[in-house]
Amino acid sequence: MRWRTVRRVAAAVVVGLVPVAVGAVGIARAAGEVYTARDGGAPPAPVDTAAAPAHDPGKPTAVMVLSQEGTNVADVLAPYEVLAHTGAFNLYTVAARRQPVPLTGGLDLVPDLSFGQLDDRLPASPDVIVVPQLHDAGKPSAAPIVQWLRRQRAQGDPLLVSVCVGAEVLASAGVLDGRPATSHWLGLIGLRRNYPAVRWQDGVRYVDDGDVITTAGVLSGVDGALRVVERMVGRPAAEQAARAVRWPAYSPGGAAPIRRARPAPPDVVGLLSAAYRWDRPNMGVLLTEGVGETELAAAFRPYTELSYLARPLAVTLGGQPVRSRHGLTFVPRADLATAAPRLDRLVVPGADAARRAEAQGLSLPERLTPVHLHQGDSGFAFGAALRDIARTRDVATARWVAKTLQYPTPNPRLDGPAWPWALTLRPVLLVAGGVAVALGIRFLRRREQIVRAVTTVRGRALRRLVRHYLEMVLVMVAGMVVLGRAESVLLDPFGWAGLRAQPEIHTLAMATNMTVAMVAWMRLRGHGWAATAEMAVAMYASFVVLFPPLWLGVLSPMGLMVLGHVLMLLAMAAVMLERSDEYTGHHRAGWLDRPAAAAGHGQGRGGGEDATAQRP
């Protein structure tokens, strides 16, 4: 009994380990794709020809700090556009070196100046320093940024503004000790633990503490930038900037309260996407001249960090850099013609690009229809991305993205499928795969018994076993044809055809049709529920174990179908051989049983070669 319990516990561990291990690999892989370095195959980045903006000594200077390891695209570009709309600042993006820096999703930005070039240009520290989320915050690679910030504080009295978890950079520099501050609602969990000297707050868009402003998550950086404009230029300029970027949540004179976000059950969609969405599409993002900075950010951040919906690739028509609406220089990672064969989708951000029909008339693969993300859109740029996600994925995921962005509208109107059911099915199927692994281990442990069964089943018992096997195969084929047709007639009017286009759903539906027919026939033949359930599990497991190779791109949908059927037939034969007494016994006669088999029904279910030999 003790060893039986140990075996059961071990089987449960095997079953649970499969989805956990696969999910952990998926999360690590997804997180590693958010900030990627520019590779050698990308078009050259002519940094020297990207001229920095002219300096006006009569204006205050505001700088956006960038990390060579990666910076949050929305934290940088949304506040940048707010400040740029006023025309009241010398506005620069700065980094340790003047080389293209990766923003979220692989959008490469050429900094206007290096730290050294900025120091040469200014007699003192900048008036405003904006610190967004830096990918390497708290790591040794961020040390030059922290040292530079400390030097600016020592040389002058700049207004420091952190956006989202950019607050970690200020906290690591000791700037926030003993002061009130805020950050992203998810980031606050770790920040409270790692920096207990800071008086962390939530439920507000920003905290203005004199020479330091800290903002809540991501899009709260817009409010932080508007607060800077209020203080340094005036409320009318802030109101005008809010209208220019179509920000609906501007709160003149102070920070607006916001809903305190906490992890909730619907947020599991984010975990599912990170862990099990290995087939994220390669999404080309076509960069065009004059695109709005916030529009550009909306094509990257909602689809990547914390949502992991796509693998963006920044492209241009000729592989040349482009300048945004307010003069930022972005360099692509490929030209569109070269990248098109490996793209699954092409998104074109920008209302102006849509009006110019920028992507019309391009020679593209038939499957690659350009999507103008902001076509006909008159609201805040990120709203278009949320609607696109709801339409192409599902509403639950779009709401999760809105929550991670701290989008100003708590419940934006979104249309699309309610929940990612196919994605939810993946960990369930991995559990089933774990069951299949456990059964496989059990099968291997009992292989000697199975070999003995193969060698001892002879004569009429073997013929009965083969007839039984062929009957089940014929019944399953009939179920696949008849029930498959009924499924189409009854469910296609409700959108089933679109769902069935996914190979996993199509395969499971087909397996269900075959299993239903097989179960009905086995029960008609007199088999018990335990034997019937065991056979059903063998049929499903034969397909489920092939899903991870499908998701990883190792196996094609056609390969899944063919190999799954082969494994199913082998698994059925293995189950029947392992329990040969069950399948060579005298059940009710099947289609292929000879009439003489009916004479054996009165002798019970023992069957086997010895029983057959005793009959006249």
* Segment 295-333, tens digit of pLDDT: 999 999 999 999 999 999 999 999 999 999 999 999 999
- Which one is predicted more confidently, 461 or 148? 148
Cα distances from 540 to residues 45, 57, 197, 348, in angstroms, run 52, 73, 55, 42
Global pTM exceeds 0.75:
yes
Over residues 456-482, the mean pLDDT reads 82
Spatial neighbors of 547 by CB under 8 A, at least 6 apart, are 426, 429, 430, 433, 504, 560
| pLDDT tops 90 at residue 118 | yes
| pLDDT tops 50 at residue 402 | yes
Secondary structure (3-state) at 285: strand
**Matching fold, domains 56-244 and 266-405:** yes
pLDDT score at 597: 44
Domain covering 266-405 in this structure, CATH number = 3.40.50.880
Percent of the chain with pLDDT strictly greater than 90: 62
- Are the CB atoms for 348 and 370 separated by under 8 Å? yes
Q: For 9-13, 86-90, 432-436, which range has the lowest pLDDT when averaged over its residues?
A: 9-13
| pLDDT tops 50 at residue 599 | no
* Residue 426: pLDDT band with limits 50, 70, 90: confident
DSSP character string of 308-344: ---EEEEEESSS--EE-TTS-EEE-SEEHHHHGGG-S
pLDDT score at 446: 64
- Which one is predicted more confidently, 255 or 494? 255
| pLDDT tops 50 at residue 606 | no
Over residues 577-602, the mean pLDDT reads 58
Of the candidates 22, 9, 20, 18, which has an alpha carbon nearest to the alpha carbon of residue 434? 18
Over residues 462-482, the mean pLDDT reads 88
Q: For 193-207, 283-297, 360-374, 496-510, which range has the lowest pLDDT when averaged over its residues?
A: 496-510
Over residues 43-59, the mean pLDDT reads 89
| pLDDT tops 90 at residue 293 | yes
Decide: residue 99, CB within 10 A, 0-12 exposed, 13-18 middle, 19+ buried.
Answer: middle
Q: How many helices (H) and strands (E) does the chain have?
A: 24, 18
Distance CA 321, CA 309 (A): 26
pLDDT score at 450: 57
Cα distances from 414 to residues 152, 267, 294, 386, 462, in angstroms, run 45, 17, 20, 8, 61
Over residues 440-445, the mean pLDDT reads 69
Spatial neighbors of 72 by CB under 8 A, at least 6 apart, are 103, 104, 132, 133, 134, 135, 163, 164, 166, 218, 301, 305
Strand partners, 215: 206
pLDDT score at 3: 60
Question: C-alpha angle 43/49/52, rounded to 5°?
Answer: 120
- Domain 56-244 bears CATH identifier 3.40.50.880: yes
| pLDDT tops 50 at residue 601 | no
| pLDDT tops 80 at residue 233 | yes
pLDDT score at 441: 72
* Residue 603: pLDDT band with limits 50, 70, 90: very low
| pLDDT tops 50 at residue 43 | yes
Spatial neighbors of 225 by CB under 8 A, at least 6 apart, are 78, 79, 80, 82, 83, 130, 161, 241
Mean of per-residue pLDDT scores for the chain? 88
| pLDDT tops 50 at residue 390 | yes
68's tokens: 């060579």
| pLDDT tops 50 at residue 615 | no
pLDDT score at 50: 83
| pLDDT tops 60 at residue 587 | no
| Inter-helix orientation angle 503-524/459-491, to 10° | 130
* Residue 613: pLDDT band with limits 50, 70, 90: very low
Over residues 335-357, the mean pLDDT reads 95
| Inter-helix orientation angle 421-445/2-32, to 10° | 140
| pLDDT tops 50 at residue 335 | yes
Alpha-carbon dihedral 464, 470, 474, 479, rounded to 10 degrees: 80
Of the candidates 415, 421, 300, which has an alpha carbon nearest to the alpha carbon of residue 349? 300
* Residue 192: pLDDT band with limits 50, 70, 90: very high
Of the candidates 278, 274, 284, which has an alpha carbon nearest to the alpha carbon of residue 107? 284
Decide: residue 123, CB within 10 A, 0-12 exposed, 13-18 middle, 19+ buried.
Answer: exposed
- Are the CB atoms for 539 and 514 separated by under 8 Å? yes
| pLDDT tops 70 at residue 14 | no
Going by their DSSP bridges, the two strands 345-348 and 282-286 should be labelled as parallel
pLDDT score at 610: 40
Secondary structure (3-state) at 550: helix
Over residues 390-408, the mean pLDDT reads 96
User: pLDDT by residue (tens digit) across 519-529?
Assistant: 999 999 889 89
Question: Identity (one letter) of the amino acid at 569?
Answer: L
Q: Where are the domains of the chain?
A: 56-244, 266-405, 446-614
pLDDT score at 602: 42
* Residue 384: pLDDT band with limits 50, 70, 90: very high
Question: Identity (one letter) of the amino acid at 549?
Answer: P
Spatial neighbors of 122 by CB under 8 A, at least 6 apart, are 61
- Are the CB atoms for 78 and 71 separated by under 8 Å? no
pLDDT score at 608: 40
- How many angstroms from the chain centroid is the CA of residue 468? 46
| pLDDT tops 90 at residue 451 | no
390's tokens: 């709801």
| pLDDT tops 50 at residue 212 | yes
Over residues 346-369, the mean pLDDT reads 91
Cα distances from 27 to residues 165, 313, 363, 428, in angstroms, run 20, 20, 36, 17
| pLDDT tops 90 at residue 534 | no
pLDDT score at 392: 95
